[in-house]
Amino acid sequence: MGDFDVLYPASTFADQEVVLGLPTGFPSVTEPGMTFKKALGWFFTAIGALVVVLLQSIIMLAGLTCGGENKNGFGTLAQTEQGAVDGFVIPDFQSIAWLGIPYARPPVGSLRWKAPQDAVRRDGALTTKSYGSQCFQTGAKSSEDCLYLNIWRPDSTEKRLPVFVYIHGGSNIDGSAEGPWYTVAHHYNVVVVTFNYRLGPMGWFLNPALLTGNPKDDSGNFGTLDQIKALEWVQKNIEQFGGEKTNVTLAGASAGAQNVSYLMHTALAKDLFQKAIIESNYPGIRPVSAAYKSSQQVLYNLLVAEGRAPNAKAAKVYAESHMTAREVRDYLYSRTPAEISKAYFNADMGAINWGDFYRDDIHAGRNHLPPPLVQCAENRPEFVYVIGDGFVLPRGVPLADFSEGHVFPKPMIVGTTRNENNMWNATWPFNFQEGKSLSALITEAVEGTNPAYRRLQRFYDAFGEGNANTFRQNYSFATHLIDELDTYLGSQMPARHMAAIKAMQQLPIYVYRFDWGSDPKKNYKIPFEDSWVFYKGAIHVSESDFFYQNFFGLTEGRNEAAYQYTAANLEGRKALSLAIKSYLWEFLHNRSGRIQKTSAQPVDWEPWTASTAQYIVFDADCAKIDVHTSTTAISRTPEQLYAAHAAHPNEAVRDFIEYYVLWAWNWNWYPNSSVGHFNTSPGPNALFDPAKP
């Protein structure tokens, strides 16, 4: 059940059925006293009533029925290329919603690993008052039949409204398009569209046996193609909901931001949206060779699970000697999504291999390091998503390269939070004030699902229970260094590269850093405010609640930082949210993407340029905002960060950083490697495996 279902149960909007037939109360022709004249009169009355009902039905199917209108609004009935859809009004937010509109055929059966097909046309009006199924993900009620979108708009008569399309996050393995997006429709006066797309190995999977000769089907990027199909649907239909198809802003956070950045790199989407908002982005494109290696290992693990082979090595021999390409294809299609997900050795897909740890170049001479680097779960496949196939997405661009020739330029807002990394490295009990010892906290972390936590054991071994302050200082060094790397790659690098593109000279790039909760000198009035090392602060995607006015809705925030929200800091949070709105409103409503100056804005937010590199900082204490611009480097470069890490005297600290960079970015920062450390200049990046067919 999604957030909206909790707030407004389906029973609130019970369907009103339209029955075609004679009105009740008509007498029978055999009724006593019925004369021919009376019967003839009743007959013509019935015919007249039937004609009225039929005319009403025809008008309804054209999207013009009075029954689907609000007396003050746009109307709940809209016509799409596939047929009419009937939504409902949300009176508390003066909005109209249409939930669960199919934008493509269900990708089931033979369509599982295929590019999405157009949705089927239908007769009659489709009731769209509940969400469609979430795309398959473990640990949630979900289905392969999941390609549905949702629309919210203001309950007004306005047309040609800006369109805001949001791609949900969730590491491309979980999440959905559900949520209280009526707050955005209401507060920003826009048409909002969200949609589900295939996730995990249903969304990104490439195996030689699945190749068909069709470049879309052979890309392995089915989740990306779903996103493109949803945008195509928007272009064809959004005017029927009062939206302007030439003023579409595509936005997302975390994996959603990744997907926005990828869609800026494909010709298939270049004309489907005009502006972009990229929040807490982690861009990275994996080569075809990595996708092949992963899917082959999945095949071997499936064969072992079924009992056809005792281990993965034997399964490899079995597959190569006993199975044709067609048999491999049929076998993969015969497995359920749950069986395929389990073949990644993650029953809940909650802790996945982002990078390929089973590499000889990072293993030699490191047997003293803790798992999983050396004992790196051999036969555990990397989850490869967003593949540089050469058709949907470019080959040889391991990072989403925003430089000349690699990206289709658009006006853009891009930024990160100040404590991105704390999302993952401060998620065990918040601090030491809960009465637990350092060793107990470390034990909880090590027993968690995130493999990076296992490196914490080395911190404990190095500094011990009696050196908690030293532990905190060193752990703070590591996490803050990684925060800076995240910030550089997520905002500074895209802005720097795009600002150098000739075509971008007339298009604005706006860069932000979100700081709320990150400054120990501010009085935020949040729990455990005096324990900053193990404090989440401005973590990954925590800006979203502030961007999308969630403090003015029926929910009190919905991200990982929500525990920091208290009644004591609500005033400051609302003030900051309204300040941010004053900028986003201008970006959304102006077709050029220019943020025009208004009296509601605390400061002028000027675009980032190659010469100024100016960005805005969003912060507030418990009562008042602190919004200012800066030209101080938003982060150190990866080269500078690597030098700082390499100079640290403690091996446990260096190992934690090196492992995390490998885990999160597939960059090898371990010294004496056959792979280079980094190359953040435009063009192919030496850190990643070359894209091979």
Delimit the domains of the chain by residue range: 3-61, 68-118+125-166+183-285, 287-385, 412-440+457-630
The pLDDT, as a whole number, for residue 567 is 87
Q: Cis ω on the peptide bond leading into residue 372 (within 30° of 0)?
A: yes
3-class DSSP state for residue 91? helix
Superfamily grouping for domain 412-440+457-630: Alpha/Beta hydrolase fold, catalytic domain (3.40.50.1820)
Angle between helices 638-646 and 468-487 (to 10 degrees): 160
Strands, DSSP E only, in 378-418? 387-388, 412-417
Q: Where would I find the H helices in 241-322?
A: 255-263, 288-306, 312-322
- Alpha-carbon gap, residue 355 to 451, rounded angstroms: 12
- Alpha-carbon gap, residue 531 to 459, rounded angstroms: 18
3-class DSSP state for residue 524? coil
Count of alpha carbons within 13 Å of 259, Cβ hemisphere only?
34
The pLDDT, as a whole number, for residue 207 is 97
The pLDDT, as a whole number, for residue 471 is 76
- Alpha-carbon gap, residue 356 to 382, rounded angstroms: 6
- Alpha-carbon gap, residue 428 to 453, rounded angstroms: 10
For residues 243 and 449, is the Cβ–Cβ distance under 8 A? no
Burial class from Cβ neighbours inside 10 Å (0-12, 13-18, 19+) for residue 536 reads buried
The pLDDT, as a whole number, for residue 628 is 98
- Residue 182 CB: number of other CB atoms within 10 A? 25
CATH (residue range 68-118+125-166+183-285): 3.40.50.1820
3-class DSSP state for residue 250? strand
Q: What angle do CA 680, 686, 689 make, to 5 degrees?
A: 130
Exposure class string for 374-392: b at 16+ Cβ within 10 A, else e: eebeebbbbbbbbbbbebb
- Alpha-carbon gap, residue 552 to 187, rounded angstroms: 9
Record the tokens describing residue 164, joined without a space: 């805001």
- The single-letter code of the amino acid at 45 is T
Please report, to the nearest 10 degrees, the dihedral formed by the alpha carbons of residues 396, 402, 405, 410 taken in order: 140
Record the tokens describing residue 464, joined without a space: 């011990």
The answer for residues whose C-beta is within 8 angstroms of residue 257's C-beta and 6 or more apart is: 169, 278, 279, 280, 281, 282, 490
Query: Across the chain, which distance is largest between two alpha carbons, in Å?
Result: 108
- Cα dihedral sign, 181-182-187-190: positive
Tally the residues of the chain: 693
Tokens 């675009």 belong to 607
Record the tokens describing residue 433, joined without a space: 């004030």
- The single-letter code of the amino acid at 435 is G
For residues 528 and 431, is the Cβ–Cβ distance under 8 A? yes
Going by C-alpha positions, the residue among 170, 228, 219, 179 that lies closest to residue 199 is 170
- The single-letter code of the amino acid at 693 is P
Pairing of strands 625-630, 615-620: antiparallel
546: left (phi over 0), alpha (psi -120 to 50) or beta: alpha
Count of alpha carbons within 13 Å of 466, Cβ hemisphere only?
0
- Residue 520 CB: number of other CB atoms within 10 A? 12
pLDDT along the chain (693 residues), means of 10: 33 31 32 40 44 41 40 80 97 95 98 98 96 91 96 96 96 92 96 97 97 97 98 98 98 94 95 96 82 94 96 96 97 96 64 50 50 52 88 78 82 91 54 50 54 61 68 81 86 82 84 90 75 65 90 58 82 96 98 96 95 94 96 89 91 80 66 43 32 30
Pairing of strands 243-253, 161-167: parallel
Record the tokens describing residue 429, joined without a space: 């009990």
Count of alpha carbons within 13 Å of 460, Cβ hemisphere only?
17
- The single-letter code of the amino acid at 202 is M
For residues 356 and 362, is the Cβ–Cβ distance under 8 A? no
Going by C-alpha positions, the residue among 471, 373, 485, 350 that lies closest to residue 421 is 485
- Alpha-carbon gap, residue 18 to 77, rounded angstroms: 14
The answer for residues whose C-beta is within 8 angstroms of residue 555's C-beta and 6 or more apart is: 3, 7, 180
Going by C-alpha positions, the residue among 306, 665, 190 that lies closest to residue 677 is 665
The pLDDT, as a whole number, for residue 36 is 38
- Alpha-carbon gap, residue 198 to 115, rounded angstroms: 11
3-class DSSP state for residue 192? strand
Going by C-alpha positions, the residue among 691, 668, 670 that lies closest to residue 679 is 668
Confidence (pTM):
0.83
The answer for residues whose C-beta is within 8 angstroms of residue 74's C-beta and 6 or more apart is: 96, 153, 154, 155, 156, 157, 158, 159, 241, 242
User: How far lies 195's CA from each of 90, 118, 161, 182, in Å?
Assistant: 19, 15, 19, 14
- Alpha-carbon gap, residue 533 to 70, rounded angstroms: 53
For residues 328 and 207, is the Cβ–Cβ distance under 8 A? yes
Record the tokens describing residue 431, joined without a space: 């601090």
Tokens 């404590």 belong to 419
The secondary structure element, H or E, covering residue 339 is: helix 337-342
DSSP secondary structure of 139-181: TSSEES---EEEEEEESSS--SEEEEEEE--STTTS--S-S-T
